[in-house]
Structure 1
Amino acid sequence: MKKTKKIEFRLTLTELKIIQNKASKCGYSISEFVRETSLGYEPKNKLTPDEIAVFNILTTYANNFKNLSNLFKLGDTTGVKELCVETVQEIRFHLNKLR
Structure 2
Amino acid sequence: MSKTQRIELRVSLLDKKLIEINAKKSGLSISQYLVDCGLHRVIKPPPSEERLSVYKELAKFHQNFVYISNLIKNNNAPEVTLEVSKVARELLIHLEEIRNGKQSEKHEGE
TM-score, length basis structure 2? 0.59
- The 1:19–1:71 alpha-carbon spacing in structure 2 relative to 1, beyond 3 Å, is same
Give, in whole Å, the separation in 1 of the partners of 2:51 and 2:16: 28
Larger Rg: 1
Match of 1:94 in 2: none
For residues 2-43 of structure 1, the C-alpha deviation after alignment (integer angstroms, 9 at most, x for no partner) is 212111112222222222122111211000111112122112
Identity across matched positions, percent: 33
Unaligned 5+ segments in structure 1 are 81-99
Q: Which runs of 4+ in 1 moved over 6 A?
A: none
SS at match of 1:18: helix
Matched, 1:29 2:29: yes
Q: Compare relative contact order (CA 8 Å, sep 6+) and give the higher one, 1 or 2.
A: 2
Task: Give the length in aligned residue pairs.
Answer: 78
- The 1:24–1:76 alpha-carbon spacing in structure 2 relative to 1, beyond 3 Å, is farther
**What amino acid is aligned across from residue 39 of structure 1 in structure 2?**
L
Give, in whole Å, the separation in 2 of the partners of 1:69 and 1:19: 49
Match of 2:93 in 1: none
Give, in whole Å, the separation in 2 of the partners of 1:75 and 1:14: 66
Q: CA deviation at 1:48?
A: 2.6
**What amino acid is aligned across from residue 16 of structure 2 in structure 1?**
L
For residues 25-74 of structure 1, the C-alpha deviation after alignment (integer angstroms, 9 at most, x for no partner) is 12110001111121221121112333222211111111111222222222
SS at match of 2:41: coil
Match of 1:16 in 2: 16
User: What pairs up with 1:1-99 in 2 under 5 angstroms?
Assistant: 1-75=1-75
